[in-house]
Amino acid sequence: MTCDESRLLLHAYLDDELDAAQSVDMERHVAACPACAAAQREHERLRKALTQPELYRRAPEALRRQWEAPPAVAATPRRRRPLALAAAAGFAGALLLSAPTWLWLARPGAAPAALVDEAISGHLRSLQPQHLMDVVSTDQHTVKPWFEGKLDFAPRVKELAGEGFPLAGGRLDAIGGRSVAALVYRRRMHAINLYQWPADGADTPQSIAQRHGYTVIDWRQGGMRFLAVSDLNEGELKQFALAFDNTAH
């Protein structure tokens, strides 16, 4: 195991998410590498510090009573409803004017806004503890076979460490009401979720959407649809997508 692999697997190791063989490799590497051992000790120290009871405070009684009190329901006079409707219409108009242009001007075949939102939501869910990966490995020959029998297609898994995007693992997920493969890549401290599933139609160029600080790149190639999601800047995520497209299996 290399230091780069150790850094990628450290959180999974501390959360006891690695299999027995990977755990043994990790323990052997940490025992022989002072730098990785120091990183592990620092992560363990932070995890322990965050569990200290003095970090938590009981809410004041006045605030607790407000939480527990039933919400007051105020009747709205009929005569004020036109004003409420006007305010709602004004808010909707402002939202249309302030919404990102990709939502309204997406090219034909680009991912609908709802699909983009779903991909971002899936990315955020994956960042919760123990949600990022079902299989943890930097080896495409470990990750790809893991999906066999779990999906009705064979996902494309590529190693991109040479381009600066090391493979970290994968998991099953759902996008657009169907099961998809989610590959997880790393770029420094950033995670990249690459969703993929079979799709009809011709190949399409990459379409870029940005929302809530996240970038989504959508494209079709060789009968597959891909959605790459990350909080990386647009340039680096485009670099990842191009590297994935141009690297042989």
What is the total count of domains within the chain?
2
Q: Which amino acid is at 36?
A: C
pLDDT at residue 96, as a whole number: 38
Average pLDDT over residues 146-169: 92
Say whether 170 sits in a helix, a strand or coil. Answer: strand
Say whether 97 sits in a helix, a strand or coil. Answer: helix
Is residue 178 a part of any domain in this protein?
yes
Is residue 76 a part of any domain in this protein?
no
Is residue 119 a part of any domain in this protein?
yes
Residue 159 is part of which domain span? 105-246
Judge if 231 and 109 occupy the same domain. yes
pLDDT at residue 105, as a whole number: 38
Judge if 112 and 48 occupy the same domain. no
- From CA 209, how far away is CA 161, in angstroms rounded? 25
Judge if 124 and 221 occupy the same domain. yes
Is residue 84 a part of any domain in this protein?
no
The overall pTM is greater than 0.85: no
Is residue 157 a part of any domain in this protein?
yes
Smallest Cα–Cα separation from 123: which of 5, 212, 17, 28? 212
Judge if 145 and 230 occupy the same domain. yes
Is residue 86 scored above 50 in pLDDT?
A: no
pLDDT at residue 88, as a whole number: 45
Judge if 19 and 119 occupy the same domain. no
The confidence band for 70, taking pLDDT boundaries of 50, 70 and 90, is low
pLDDT at residue 106, as a whole number: 42
Smallest Cα–Cα separation from 224: which of 164, 158, 161, 126? 158
